[in-house]
Chains A and B, each alone.
Chain A
């Protein structure tokens, strides 16, 4: 089951790792994505740390690490095809992170997220 953050990320647990992407709502707000800069694999990050730069035709914004942990993989196809995020937000992952602790209870479920974005 997907979990959601207030920063419009979706999280999907896969074994002892979490796969992270952004929601369709986020891509609608961003508009056409034209540039994505991903973190280095192996990087240790803190929760809330800005680790992805995402730019649309309109503006630059950041994606933060939802939890503390180590980046184990990034979607290497993404910087060459940034528009994929607009086409399929839920099907386009950004990075995998191995969290210091696998506790996703503090994140929203789909119903709570939908309520937040109204």
Chain B
């Protein structure tokens, strides 16, 4: 096995008492002494600092770069205003999902953030755009952190005045002690917050300055997962993959009218025929929320049945666990649309079928600053 990579915050994680685990080729903090539950609740009430340096950062440049990216991503990139960010998907020819990503329009270039596990594949995929005169530049020498939670604005603006004026999904550059931070007002927790790309040389100093504020605690991958699950956010490789269509993953919202059938820039991305006809007709199944009636968490892979006995499974849990803010188990599964909201289905756990309520996603209401 290849050696695990370490982020620029590795020493700081160790100093903070982090338990480190292998994750997508990196050695990352899964939790700190506060524990997953405490870290989760801290992020919901104050501010959590996440090291997300393992994620891929990519710059695309060239004439008509937005138009070019639309050949790979079914989002409205052309219509993305300068200083704004948008969520999108890389799709494949079969109509499945290769990865999800954030796309920022920074004026003379697009800035993308992609998943750690998919970064090599994504860059190879993006290199197709070189034929259209687009340069694909993996960002070297920059780390990425996320600051999330209701106190994130107060904490960050103390160090970087001006960020308080940003709205949800704004992107901008700010100076911090002579270095340039690329900041977006976004995140993966359902809380208000920021994602900050920092030159590697000052990453530890910047993170230390954030952690010096009482409201800020370091948060590991464990709480990152429970926070995003409560926020109903999908995770690549779990809630979506090459076998899952955007509609099945409940990500049809990321494909705007302009790219759909009859739109001004209809289709033109991999798998467009399958994806757009499914969206037009309405998908037979989609990602739904599940609330087990008891206390037992139902986790990824647990099969869901319509009745208490017999029958084929109607779906499988794609993400599941315990929601600390919800105070109970929560899960998501791709299930037939014909099952009504509020209906009871059954999760087969250790040979027993346990009742589970079909509920809307998210489980925890987001608090973005729009």
Contact = CB atoms under 8 A, between A and B. Distances in A.
Interface string B13-54: 000000000000000001100011110100000000000000
A104 to B, nearest CB: 30
Interface stretch (A9-17, A30-38, A41-49): A30-38
B235 to A, nearest CB: 15
Contacts of A55: 296-297, 322
Nearest to A79: B295
The range of chain A's interface size is: 10 to 19
B295 A57 contact: no
Contacts of A60: 297, 299
Contacts of A53: 296, 350
Interface residues of B, number: 18
A53 B350 CA distance: 10
Interface string B237-257: 000000000000000000000
A35 B296 contact: yes
A78 B50 CA distance: 33
Interface string A65-86: 0000000000000010010001
B362 interface: no
Nearest to B297: A55
A28 to B, nearest CB: 9
B222 A31 contact: yes
Interface in B311-355: 321-322, 324, 329, 350
Contacts of B38: 32
Contact of A31 (B35, B295, B296, B299): B35
B226 interface: yes
A57 B296 contact: no
Nearest to A59: B299
B47 to A, nearest CB: 20
A87 B63 CA distance: 60
A9 B151 CA distance: 41
Nearest to B35: A32
Contacts of A57: 36-37, 40, 222, 226, 321-322, 324
Interface of A: 31-32, 34-35, 37, 53, 55-60, 79, 82, 86
